[in-house]
Structure 1
Amino acid sequence: MAVAASTDGIALTRRPQTQSLSVVRIWLYVLAALVVVMVAVGGATRLTGSGLSITEWRPVTGVVPPLTEQAWLTEFEKYRQIPQYELVNKGMTLSEFKFIYAWEWGHRQLGRLIGIVFFLPLLWFWVRGAINGRLALTLLGIGTLGGLQGAVGWIMVASGLEPGMTAVAPIKLTLHLMIASIILCSLIWVAAGLKERDATVREVGLQANMPCILLGLILVQIMLGGLVAGSKAGLTYNTWPLMDGAFIPSAQALFVVSPWIENFVDNVALVQFNHRMAAYAIVAVALYHAWNARRRAPQSKLARRATAMAGLSLAQMTLGIITLILAVPLWAGLAHQIFAMVVLAMAAVHARVSA
């Protein structure tokens, strides 16, 4: 009886903490969903050529858009001074400018919203004692990364305002996308870690590092995808499975730029080839992992997650092929980018609960 009372006491003590962590976990998943939306809006901003429409970084006053016709004309005049207008959009009407301005303004406001949704609940949970210690420090680190992301976003935009530039620098676009991906991955990792882990990996002797390897490959692939997007490599070699008539293009095509290291960023042939090869690698690893998990523990949650990862990887590769063959229409390019975040989120959950 004393043991029962003691057990009940422990349960009563732990229940509020468990409930608090459940709320924290929901909050983190909401933040993760907002990051996915942010990436989607960012992708639409890029694909519509809207990213350079706001030529100043105003963290506070930028909240308010132009409200009068004169204010709109002033913003339009600033845009008309940059190379993108002169070299790409010369003759654009004010109405057309308002369209691209809306995408970039919305992208920046969503960033501000995410900051509010992150820091206000974080402060509340901290004051209430729902988070502390290592968890609190981890979340502060993610918040710091979010602040850095805003600065990197402006550095990226500024690269497109330089003389002769009509778009942002590919490497800076890639950095911006990678930080967003790491933030998403970190939020999912922490949220998934607040639940009990799946012991199947250890019980059946599976390689516990396979989910983490898959997660790492997906992050690398997103980086390569950022380079494809930044260099517009998807608008070339629009055939599959061959590139310019060969599965593996010639060395002369892949390393035409000098010095050779710059080919990995500036040569659209190598940039696209690397993205293709990484996709094959991810699918191969995901299929092997699913086969191995189902062979060792066919009825386990691990096997179901591994199978889902294989299916998502195949679907994403198929969507990428369709996007390439169609020469990156807006809907396909956007779907491919959003689905990449879905695959990344699933991989983060799988790796975390399997660790």
Structure 2
Amino acid sequence: MQTPDIRRADAELRHRAQVRGWLYFTALVLLVLVTVGGATRLTDSGLSITEWAPIHGVIPPLTEAQWEEELERYRQIPEYQVVNRGMSMAEFQFIYWWEWGHRFLARALGLVFAVPLAFFWLTGRLDRRVKLPLLGLLALGGLQGFIGWWMVSSGLTERVDVSHYRLAVHLCMAALILGWIVWVARGLAPHARDLKPTARSSLWAGIVAGLVFVQIYLGALVAGLDAGWVFNEWPMMGEGLFPAVMWEPALGWRNWVENPAIVQFAHRTGAYVLLAVIVGHVWSCWRWAPGSTHARRAMVLLGLVLAQALVGIVTLVMEVPLFWALVHQALAFFTLAFAVAHWRAMVGPLPLSNGRRHLHA
């Protein structure tokens, strides 16, 4: 016969499994949203909707007159006047649907997160220690919607595209939200009994996750500046590894964030640094805890980083085809999610309410 404590622990484990399923599904929807956002950027579709209408913007144009009205609004902005003058309705609809799809998925993601959150909260299925982090995620999601419009608005008056700085903020906020979701979900998951390889293993796992995040930031600058088309060979950049002839003295340190050639170099260099750090982390894990769960996961993470590097090279030398560019972006976010999960596993699980650790036999 089960004691009340055992029944409560079993119920808590069931509730944790339900919450984890919801959070992982939310992370999956976010990954799809980011991929569609990448396509929106690469097809130059992000400025096709010139208004921020959180409610009635859910409904796209349904009549010919409504389509003409949307196109007329687009004709008023510099991107149309300088880049797309004379665009046909079919061409406009192509870019419009990418942006509308991106915004629709963003709204859907808000519902996917908020509605189950309310259900789990009201039915007592949430551990009190994750309530505040989940509210923080909800707030970040709302802020992300504002950041998205802040980004779009930068391209509606004086520019023919959005600010690459604001684009980077928008993408990095998505990466932060994804990492936060995975951190909370992984803390509620079963953990292996294996001890972490060394006292500093969790620190290095966190550094790896941080470097993946930095790479996403640098990748956003590359996308925002169209820097992927500056040099399309590897490992050289023109006549050397560093494009010295492209350095603009007038920009000074801002070459690293505004000069497309130098930004591409920074992104490449960041990949080399990340690869070196993850190789060192794998070596440490296998030296001090060979065959352990942590060591095996470190190897998987190394495989993801290598795959991401390979996809990046393919994307570069093929001159940024849409398919490979989207694979590169999606794989970056998947790698970040796995890196955060690996880091959280090193830190350890969130104990059950009775103080017992949540272990997987």
Paired position in structure 1 for 2:209:
215
2:17 matched residue in structure 1: 22
Counterpart check, 1:192 vs 2:213? no
What is the deviation of 1:261? Answer: 3.1
- 1:267 matched residue in structure 2: 259
Separation of aligned partners in 2, 1:227 and 1:146: 22
2:352 equivalent in structure 1: none
Aligned residue type for 1:223:
Y
Are residues 1:279 and 2:274 paired? Answer: no
Residues 177-205 of structure 1 show CA distances to partners (whole Å, capped at 9, x for unaligned) of 00000000000010000024445454655
Alpha-carbon distance change, 173 to 246 in structure 1, aligned in 2, over 3 angstroms? same
Matched, 1:324 2:330: no
Shift of 1:292: 2.0
Tell me the residue number matched to 2:325. 333
Task: Flag structure 2 segments of 5+ consecutive residues without an equivalent.
Answer: 348-361
d(CA) in 1 for partners of 2:196, 2:230: 46
**Matched residue type, 2:4:** G
Q: Is the 8 A contact 1:198 1:354 kept in 2?
A: no
Q: Aligned match of 2:33 in 34, 38, 59?
A: 38
Shift of 1:265: 2.0
How does the TM-score come out when normalised to structure 2?
0.93
Runs of 4+ in 1 over 6 A off after TM superposition: none
Match of 2:221 in 1: 227
Structure 1: 5+ residue stretches without partners: none
Find the counterpart in structure 1 of residue 67 from structure 2. Answer: 72
Shift of 1:257: 4.9
> Aligned residue for 2:146?
151
For residues 251 and 65 of structure 2, what CA distance do their matches in structure 1 show? 49
Equivalences for residues 3-18 of structure 1 within 5 A = 8-18=3-13
* Alignment deviations for residues 186-230 of structure 1 (CA, whole Å, 9 cap, x no partner): 000100000244454546556321110100000011000000000
Q: Who is 1:57 aligned against?
A: 52
1:206 and 1:293 in contact (8 A); partners too = no
How do 1:39-188 residues align onto structure 2 when only pairs under 5 Å count? 39-163=34-158, 165-188=159-182
The answer on whether the counterparts of 1:82 and 1:161 sit within 8 Å (CA) in structure 2 is yes
Q: 1:198 to 1:278 in 2, by over 3 A?
A: farther
> Residue by residue, what CA displacement relative to the aligned partner does 1:306-351 show, whole Å, maximum 9, x if unpaired?
0011111011011111111111111111111011011111101000
SS of 1:209's equivalent?
helix
Q: SS at the partner of 1:339? A: helix
The reply on whether 1:253 has 2:221 as its aligned counterpart is no
State the match for 2:351 in structure 1.
none
**Any conservation in 2 of the 1:218–1:344 contact (CA below 8 Å)?**
yes
Moved more, 144-153 or 320-329: 320-329
- Percent sequence identity is 46
Determine whether 1:302 maps to 2:313.
no
CA contact (8 A) 2:255 2:262 kept: yes
d(CA) in 2 for partners of 1:259, 1:130: 54
CA distance in 2, matches of 1:283, 1:189: 22
Q: Is the 8 A contact 1:215 1:344 kept in 2?
A: yes
Q: What is the count of residue pairs matched by the alignment?
A: 347
Q: Distance in 2 between matches of 1:286 and 1:89?
A: 44
Instruction: Find the aligned partners of 1:190 and 1:92 in 2 and give their Cα distance.
Output: 46
What one-letter code is carried by the residue in structure 1 that aligns with 2:64? Answer: E
Question: Do 1:228 and 1:272's aligned partners in 2 also have CA atoms closer than 8 Å?
Answer: yes
Matched AA of 1:238: N
